[in-house]
Amino acid sequence: MPSPDALPSDEIHMHIADDPAITAPALLARYGAMLNPEEGARRDRFHFAQHRHQFLVARALVRSTLSLYRPDIKPAEWQFAANAYGRPRIVGDGAGALDFNLSHTDGRIVLAVCRARSPGVDIERLDRLETVADIAARFFAETETRALFALPPLMQRRRFFDLWTLKEAYIKARGMGLSIPLTDFSIHFPAEGAPAIHFADGVDDEASRWQLWSFDAGGEYALSLTISGAVPLRPRQFQSIPLMDIKEIDCRILAPAKLVL
């Protein structure tokens, strides 16, 4: 299990929880005890039980994982606040040393944690949409759409979700959500190396300060991560059951020229 000194400043850790598999009543009761009143109210507002369950596991994942790296702060003691765009941040005693970002889709939750830098992570199920053409035409930059539909049809869905999750991860890392138009920047996949980001004229950002990754997260999911900063980071992945088990798993970075179908 990672210790407080097991999150070096040149690493970013991704904790993955498959919430449908976490069902032990005693464990879920411990998760519920971590929630603050606002989180408890949010959980109770979900209409469907599966959504209440995922919210509970997600909050437990955030709180318990942060305490792995700061064991002087108990999971229930972490305090959070949202910025003007809704991005959560740590406040109170834990502020400053760690930052995190959370994403979830049907059946899986991913938490990215690093030191003193703001990560962005996004995960999506590949079967979430019946068709992708209309969404790509509406939200992607022209260069992205052109490259997407130049691919063989069987590759287009996977590439669409790699693009979508990378773009979502970028705007989440910026902490500004959809106030950043998705057409203001584009993601490109070179034959060798990592995905690259390019900005439209007049956009106040620099491509050289960003690292981007897409991962093989199993045949059902697309998973992407972004981070800014001058020092390159190394991603690591862990399979987690909050308060019960954590183990490091292979961090399989996708090669852009070798799409996983």
Q: Please state, as a whole number, how many other Cβ atoms lie within 10 Å of the Cβ of residue 243.
A: 17
Residue 204's H or E segment, with its range, is: none
Give the model's pLDDT for residue 94: 86
Tell me how long the chain is.
Answer: 261
Best CA proximity match to 96, nearest among 68, 119, 115: 115
Domain 9-249 has CATH 3.40.50.1170: no
pLDDT at 209 (0 to 100): 94
Parse the chain into domains and list their residue ranges.
9-249
Q: Is 36 left (phi over 0), alpha (psi -120 to 50) or beta?
A: beta
> Within 10 A of 13 (CB to CB), how many other CB atoms are there?
26
pLDDT for 93? 87
Specify the pLDDT at position 70: 94
Q: What is the DSSP string of 22-88?
A: ---HHHHHHHHHH--HHHHHHHHH-SSHHHHHHHHHHHHHHHHHHHHH-TTS-GGG-EEEE-TTS-E
pLDDT at res. 256: 52
Q: Any idea what DSSP says for residue 173?
A: H
Classify residue 77 as exposed, middle or buried by CB count within 10 Å of its CB (0-12, 13-18, 19+).
Answer: middle
Q: Which two tokens stand for residue 232?
A: 């390159």
pLDDT score at 207: 94
Q: Looking at residue 95, what is its pLDDT?
A: 87
Q: Give the pLDDT of residue 162.
A: 96
Predicted confidence at residue 191, as pLDDT, reads 81
pLDDT attached to residue 231: 86
Alpha-carbon span 163 to 141, nearest angstrom: 11
Averaged pLDDT in 10-residue chunks for the chain of 261 residues: 70 98 98 98 97 99 97 96 94 91 98 95 92 92 95 92 97 93 94 90 93 92 94 95 96 65 34
